[in-house]
Amino acid sequence: MTTNPLFVWNAWGLFGVLPLVACTAMGVFVVLTRPDRAQNRRLGAFLIAQAIVTFASPAGAAFAGSDTTARVFFVLHFVSLVATMPLSLRFLATIDTPATRPLGTRPGRWLPWLVAAAIVALFVARPALFIQGFREPWWGGRMFIVAPFLTATYILSGLTSVYSLIVAISAYRRAVPGSMTRERAKRYAIAFGVNDVFIMLVTTIVPGVYSASHSGDIRPIEFLYVWAMPVSEVAFVVLMTYGILRTQLFDIDLRLLAGLRRGALAAIVLFAFFTASEIAQGLVSEEFGYVIGAFAAAALLFVHKRVEHLAASLSKAVLPGVEPSSAYVAFRKLEVYADAVEAAYEDGDISPADRVILKRLAAKLGVAATDAARIEEDTLTRQIAGQQELTVA
C-alpha cells in the first residue's frame, strides 16, 4: 500500500512563500526602525501575522501532499487569521481619533483577545464547524473545504479591515493640515482602502458573479485564491510599511527611486529579450528564438545611456520631486525629526523619556539645535491651532 508524501514540490506554492518572506522582513524592519514607538511594534506584529495567514492559505497548501499536512496548514492559517484581528485593533489604538477611544479602555484592550481566544477554543472543540475537509485541486496540493463558521470568521476579519479604513479616514480628517500625522493617516487610508476593495473583488464580487452564471460552482476559478490573495497581501503590507516609514526614514524615497530605476532597467531588457525571442520563434525557428532574443537584449548594452535615461524617467514619474541631492536629504531629515516631535506631542507635552529619544534622533540625523527648537515650536503652534479649529467645528 502506497502512502502520500507529506510535502510535494509545487511551483504554485511560491505564491505563499514569497509573501511570507517579504512581509515578515518588512514587519521586522518596521519594528527595528523605531523600536521605541508602540505604533511600530504593533504594526510589525500585525504584518508578521498577516504574512503567516497568507503563507498557510491555499497558496502555501499547494505544497501539501496529504490531508494531514493540509490540516497543519489550515490550523496555522486559522489561528493566525484570528490573531490578526486583536493585533490590528492594538495597532489602531495608537492612532489618535475618537473612533479608537474605546480601544484605549481596559475592556477595549482585553475584549478582542478574549473573543479571539473563544473562537480558537470553539475550533479546538468543534473543528467541523470551521472546516469540512480537503480536496486536491487541478494545480496540486490541497484546497480547504470551508464550513459556515470559517466563513463567519472571514467576515469578522473583513469588518475589522473596514473599521481600520474608517479609523484612518477619521485620523486624516482630524489631523492638522500639513502635518506628518495627516500624511501618515492618508497613506494608511490608501493601504486599507486598496486592501478592502481587492479583497471584496476576489472573495465576493468575482466568485459571486461567476457562481450566479455557473449554477453555484466556483471551482474553475478557485485558483484566484492562490495568486490574487498573496498579491493583494504584499501590496497592502508594502503600502502600510511605506506609510509609517515615509515619516521615519529620511532616505526611504531615495531607496525606492534607486530600486525603481533598476527594476525599470531590468524590465526593459527582459521585454526586449522576450519580444525578440517570440518574434524569432515565429519567423525562424524555436531553437534560434532565445538566441536572437539574447542578442536583442545584449544590443541594448550598446545604447545603455538611452535605456538608463528611459528607466530614470519612468522612476521619476512614479516618485516626482525625489532626487539624490544634499538639499533634498537635508529637507527629509528635518521632516523625519518633525514627525518624531509630533508623535511626542500627541499626549499634550514632551515627556522626559521622549526628550531623550528626540535628542538622540537629532544627533543621528544631524539636526542642529536651532532647527530642532524651531521645529518643536512650530509643531506646538500647529497642534494648538488645530485643536482650536476642531473645538470650533
Average pLDDT over residues 83-101: 91
At residue 187, the 3 state secondary structure works out as helix
- The whole-chain average pLDDT of the chain stands at 79
- For residue 154, the model assigns a pLDDT of 92
**Residue pLDDT, tens place only, 297-318:** 666 666 556 656 666 665 566 5
C-alpha triplet 268, 272, 276: angle, nearest 5°: 170
Residue 89 has pLDDT above 90, yes or no: yes
pLDDT number for residue 287:
58
Q: How confident is the model at residue 265 (pLDDT cuts 50, 70, 90)?
A: low
> Cell match 521632516: residue?
335
Instruction: Decide if pLDDT at 267 tops 70.
Output: no
Q: Yes or no: is domain 11-248 CATH 1.20.1070.10?
A: yes
- The upper half-sphere exposure of residue 102, i.e. CA atoms within 13 Å in the direction of its Cβ, equals 8
In the chain, where the domains are located: 11-248, 256-318, 326-392
Q: Which of 9-13, 67-71, 347-351 has the lowest mean pLDDT?
A: 347-351
| 179-183, 292-296, 340-344: the lowest-pLDDT one | 292-296
Cβ-contact 87, 73 below 8 angstroms: no
Q: For a pLDDT cut of 70, what percent of the chain falls above it?
A: 72
DSSP-assigned states of every residue in 255-277: HHHHHHHHHHHHHHHHHHHHHHH
Is 176 a residue whose pLDDT tops 60?
A: yes
Q: Are 319 and 261 in contact, with CB atoms under 8 Å apart?
A: no
Amino acid letter, 141: G
pLDDT, tens only, 188-211: 898 888 888 888 888 778 777 877
Between CA 19 and CA 77 the distance in angstroms is: 14
List, for residues 108-121, the tens digit of each pLDDT value. Answer: 999 999 999 999 99
pLDDT for residue 117 = 97
Rounded to the nearest 10 degrees, the angle between the axes of helix 369-392 and helix 352-365 is 130
pLDDT interval class at 247 (50, 70, 90): low
Tell me how far apart the alpha carbons of residues 61 and 55 are, in angstroms, rounded to a whole number.
8
Q: Is the pLDDT of residue 87 over 50?
A: yes
DSSP assignment of 352-377: HHHHHHHHHHHHHHT--HHHHHHHHH
Query: What is the pLDDT, as a whole number, of residue 280?
Result: 63
Check if the beta carbon of residue 176 is closer than 8 Å to that of residue 148.
no
Q: Are 268 and 206 in contact (CB under 8 A)?
A: no
Across 78-87, 146-155, 280-289, least confident range: 280-289
Specify the pLDDT at position 283: 63
Place of cell 497558496: 59
Q: What is the DSSP string of 123-162?
A: HHH-GGGTEEEEE--TTSS-EEEE-HHHHHHHHHHHHHHH
User: Among all chains, which residue has been given the C-alpha cell 473543528?
Assistant: 127
pLDDT category at 1 given cuts 50, 70, 90 is very low
Residues 346-382: tens digit of each pLDDT: 655 666 777 777 777 778 778 788 877 887 777 777 6
Ranked by mean pLDDT, which of 77-86, 156-165, 216-225, 283-292 comes out on top? 77-86
Higher pLDDT, 12 or 291: 12
**pLDDT, position 86:** 96
